[in-house]
Amino acid sequence: MPTIDEIAKICKVSKTTVSRVLNNHPYVSEEKRKKILDVIKELDYSPNYLAKHLRARKTRTLALSVPTVDHPFFGQLIKGISNEAFQKGYKVLICQTFYKKKNELEMMSLLKNKEIDGVILGALENEWPTIEPYLAYGPILLCNEYHENASIPIICYDEFEAGYKAVKHLIEKGHQKIGFCFDTSYSQAQGQRMKGFLKALSEANLQVKEEWIFDGAFTIKDGFNIFNKLHNLNEKPTALFTGNDQVAAGIIKKAILNDYKVPEDLAIIGYDNQLICQVTAPTITTIGIPIIELGNQSVQKILSYIEQGEEVKREMIQLPTKLIVREST
C-alpha cells in the first residue's frame, strides 16, 4: 500500500509538503498542490492513512445533485437544503445532472478529490454499485429517492402509501379506469408508488391497461403530450394519477381546451402540492409532501456523519404524505 514517503518521492517533494497538502495548509504552491493531489488520485488507495487525512480536511461545503433546477419541486428542495446548511455554517454546491450518469460521476469526483465534505443525492442516475466506492472519501446521502440496496442514509416519502391512497380516492369517487404517469426515468421510488397504485386497483378487482401507463411525465408540456396520447385512445381512462403537479396542470389545460369536463370526464391527481395546484381551474387534488422538512433533515443527517466522523450506514427515514382534495377529483 502506498505511503506518504512514496507520494513524496514520486512528486519530488518532502513528506512535510505532502502532509501540508493533506491538511489543506496554505503554504504550498498551487503547482505542487495540484501535482500531489493528482498523484493521490491516480494511486486511488482508500481506505488508508492518506484517505483518513483527506477525510479530515474540511471544506464546509456540501454538494447536492438534482436533475434540473427549473422544476418547482427541486427549487424547494434546494431552498430547504441550502437554508439549513447555511444555518450550520456550510455552503451548498448545486449540481444539475440533466439525467446524465456522466454528470453525476463528475460531481462524485469532487468528493474523491476532497473539494466537498459530503454529497446529497436528490436523484440517482447511476446504478448503486457505481456510486458505492465513493463512500471511501466521505458521506453520501440519498433524499427524495429510494433504493433497496444502497448502504447509506435514505430520507424519502412513503411512496407506496402515496400511490395507494391517491388511487383509493379515485376509486371511492367511482372511477374504474385509472391511469398512471411516471417521470423521465423510472426510479425505484416511482416503482414503490406504482406498487401502491396496483395494490389499490387489486383490492377493488380493477385492472389497468398498458396503454394507460404514461412515461415522460415531468413538465407542463409533458402534460400536454400525455393528454394527446390519452385523447387518441379507443378506450380512455376516466382518471389519472399523474405523480406531478406540473403534469397535472398541463393535462387539465389541454383537456379543457378539448371540451373535457374535469373531473366529470377526466379526474386528475397531482403530486407535491405546488402552488400551481391552487391557481388552475379547476384546482388540483394532490399528494402533499414536506419538501422543506426533507431538505432540513437531509442536511442534519449528513452533517452528523461529517462532524462525528462515523462510518456511514444504511438508515431509512420516511416522511409522511397527505392527500389534499381539491376540485380536480
260-273 pLDDT per residue, tens: 999 999 999 999 99
| Domain boundaries, position 84 | 61-157+291-319
Specify the pLDDT at position 113: 85
Residues 165 and 44 in one domain: no
Residues 144 and 227 in one domain: no
Residues 237 and 150 in one domain: no
Identify whether 325 is part of a domain. no
User: How much is the pTM?
Assistant: 0.78
Higher per-residue pLDDT: 18 or 300: 300
Residues 250 and 273 in one domain: yes
* H or E element that contains 252: helix 245-257
- 3-state DSSP assignment of residue 173: coil
Residues 178 and 193 in one domain: yes
Residues 182 and 260 in one domain: yes
Q: 125: which 3 cell numbers?
A: 442516475
Domain boundary among 35, 56, 77: 56
Give the Cα separation of 297 and 215 in Å (integer). 30
Specify the pLDDT at position 188: 81
Residues 90 and 76 in one domain: yes
Residues 125 and 36 in one domain: no
Identify whether 179 is part of a domain. yes
Residues 52 and 127 in one domain: no
Give the pairing type, strands 322-324 and 286-288.
antiparallel
Whether the predicted pLDDT of 172 surpasses 70: yes
Give the Cα separation of 60 and 85 in Å (integer). 9
Which residues are paired to 143 by β-bridges? 155
- Indicate which CATH number applies to the domain containing 25: 1.10.260.40
Specify the pLDDT at position 146: 82
Instruction: Report the chain's mean pLDDT, rounded to a whole number.
Output: 90
Q: Mean pLDDT across the stretch 50-66? A: 76
Identify whether 329 is part of a domain. no
Identify whether 167 is part of a domain. yes
Counting the structural domains of the chain, the total is 3
Residue with cell string 459530503: 118
Residues 73 and 92 in one domain: yes
Residues 312 and 231 in one domain: no
